[in-house]
Chains A and B, each alone.
Chain A
Amino acid sequence: MAQTKEQKKLHLIDTDIHERVEYEELLPYLEQPYKRYIEDCGWIQEKHMPFTQPAVAGVNRADAVVPDGRPAGSDLPFMQEQLLDAIGHDVGILTGALDPSPSSMHGWYEMAAALASAYNDWQIENWLDKDERLYGSVHIAAQDPQSAVREIERVGSHKKMIQILLPIDDKLWGDPYYHPIFEAAEKYELMIGMHHNEPPIHYGGWPRYFIEWHTLIPVAHMTMVTNMVFNGVFEKFPKLKMMMIEGGFTYVPFLMRKMDQQYRDLRHEVPWVKRMPSDIIREHICFTTQPLEEMTKKEFLQTFEQMGSDEIVSFSTDYPHWDYDSPYEALPPGLDEDLKRKLFSENARNFYPKLAHLKEEQ
């Protein structure tokens, strides 16, 4: 993609890039007997979504398939050429391809934990250690909090691991049962990256069409924000923050107003929540931009005004997915430089403690 002079000054921290593993690549990082289950039995993680057809090449950008035919997102040099170098990223945050997604497994938590460890080692060796711009997400088997904490202790201090990835699926992670994970996150200065996997958005199940499911992904994100706030996670862990990834942000004004109004009426049920939910959201939660709806500048700015902050939204491309947002094209034209700087880098830099060192460097 051709760049203008102005484009080179972007200083982008891209908060959602999907690197992809193929199961064979995980084998060297897996212990036995888990390795055998993949090698000999052809084990793969169960998937539920009945739709994989949204765009020309399924769920990926058609031009992001690796030229040798491997899946989009599976080759670092090609990602560098097509994304990191072409756009001029300062930082790219890897969020996995959710296959495998250990925390979404419905059984066999031992396998989930083994996969998470293998994935983390693979990610560090093949991506984080190979490109200084890339930062990573710790994969865990969150349904088994004890093993999850052990994994966080094992890799959480890696300087390029900046968050713990939790899928938005059919478990609500704010439940006190999972709080040991947040305690460990706080200890290692890891934030929570919450990204939908295959969440039900339709009375606990699937709608008939992909377009319905994809339209309503923000519903699953709202469910999780509401759950984390009212289960007191941020009151209990004051240094913890959460990045809501790939659900956009235009639902936030509605949710803040609704939660505040409910809190005024129903505070008695959740007395451990001691502030207005919207204040908790502004202090603890950040939202990634993609997939952006097409908005006028006026509509776009109104959303920030209604959220009472322009510091809780960070730009994301979602490369290499089909609904990728281009940093040069997706925002409404004419935004002032100050806001663009916040969206493209400052907000993410302030959000992740392990990116704070970039301040001095820029």
Chain B
Amino acid sequence: MGEIVCHEEDLKPGEMMESTFGRHSIVLCRASDGHYYAFLNRCIHQGAPLSKGKLCGAPAATDEVGEYNFVKEGDILRCPWHGREFDIKNEGRMLANEKLKIRNFKVHVKNEQVIVYK
């Protein structure tokens, strides 16, 4: 069963908001390309509310010491506490260790409504 969490226009690309889905607090993110992603609003490290963090970008891994190539602006969710980086377009996987990810939910947009599913 899906739940409408907001209107399509409520978030611009690169923005996020806190919402609820069933009994869960979730964070709904709109990526740079306009797509929506939803996650449990609880960091897998020590439980911080991710919606209080930042949707930003990240310096890409590089072979050159001293090189900062800032990419994925609007697609990286950084935790408000220890700043761990999660890629919202890669199932919420952590940049430092891709084996770990924040719990994600499916999202569809229908009739301009953003709907979250299990």
Contact = CB atoms under 8 A, between A and B. Distances in A.
Interface of A: 1, 54-57, 61-63, 322-326, 328-330
Given A54-B83, A57-B80, A323-B82, 5 more contacts: A56-B53, A56-B54, A61-B48, A322-B82, A324-B82
Interface in B31-88: 45-49, 52-54, 56, 78-83
A61 to B, nearest CB: 5
A62 B52 contact: yes
B81 A55 contact: yes
Contact of B80 (A1, A63, A326, A328): A63
26 contacts: A1-B47, A54-B83, A55-B80, A55-B83, A56-B53, A56-B54, A56-B78, A56-B80, A57-B80, A61-B80, A62-B52, A62-B54, A62-B80, A63-B48, A63-B52, A63-B80, A63-B81, A322-B81, A322-B83, A323-B82, A324-B81, A324-B82, A325-B46, A326-B46, A329-B46, A330-B46
Nearest to A321: B81
A77 to B, nearest CB: 18
A285 B81 CA distance: 29
Contacts of B45: 329
Given A56-B53, A62-B54, A63-B52, A329 B47 contact: yes
Tell me the dominant secondary structure on chain A's binding face. Answer: loop
Nearest to A325: B46
Contacts of B81: 55, 61-63, 322-324
B interface residue count range (under 10 / 10 to 19 / 20 to 34 / 35 or more)? 10 to 19
Contacts of B46: 324-326, 329-330
B70 to A, nearest CB: 13
Contact of B47 (A62, A323, A326): A326
A290 B53 CA distance: 21
A12 to B, nearest CB: 15
Nearest to A57: B80
A214 to B, nearest CB: 11
Contact of A55 (B47, B49, B82): B82
A330 B47 CA distance: 10
B104 to A, nearest CB: 20
Given A325-B46, A328-B47, A329-B46, A62 B53 contact: yes
Contacts of B49: 63
Nearest to B56: A56
